[in-house]
């Protein structure tokens, strides 16, 4: 399965879910990338997937605020900004 690129991952994930795919890769704050491809984006932000699933009425059992807290901690530790649209819009440490 191909990784989802940032920008339209919600639609891709929803399409995959409708086709029966139940496991996808994500990364807290959308961090990551490839050491061999300078500027490559990371996986879809875990926070954004959780938010979308919750919005569809699906219970992930994952505390979105706790994931955003972890993302904030990691981003500060590695001096990066979050790629999560949900965290950018709503997280207040």
Q: What is the pLDDT along the chain (93 residues), one digit of tens a residue?
A: 344 444 566 677 788 877 888 888 889 999 887 777 777 777 889 999 999 888 888 888 999 999 999 999 999 999 999 999 999 998 887
Report how far residue 76's alpha carbon sits from residue 21's, in angstroms, rounded to the nearest whole number. 33
Q: What is the pLDDT of residue 87?
A: 94
User: Which residues, other chains included, contact 58 with Cβ-Cβ below 8 Å and sequence gap of 6+?
Assistant: none
Q: Which residues are catalytic?
A: 34
Report how far residue 87's alpha carbon sits from residue 83's, in angstroms, rounded to the nearest whole number. 8
Report how far residue 53's alpha carbon sits from residue 77's, in angstroms, rounded to the nearest whole number. 28
What are the extents of the domains in the chain?
9-87
Alpha helices in the chain (DSSP H): 9-18, 46-55, 64-78, 85-90
Q: What is the pLDDT of residue 1?
A: 39
């Amino acid at each position: 399965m191909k990784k989802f690129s940032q920008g339209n991952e919600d639609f891709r994930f929803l399409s995959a879910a409708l086709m029966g795919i139940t496991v996808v890769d994500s990364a807290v704050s959308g961090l990551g990338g490839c050491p061999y491809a300078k500027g490559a984006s990371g996986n879809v932000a875990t926070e954004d997937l959780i938010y979308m699933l919750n919005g569809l009425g699906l219970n992930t059992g994952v505390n979105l605020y706790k994931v955003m807290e972890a993302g904030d901690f990691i981003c500060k530790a590695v001096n990066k900004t979050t790629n999560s649209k949900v965290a950018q819009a709503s997280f207040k440490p």
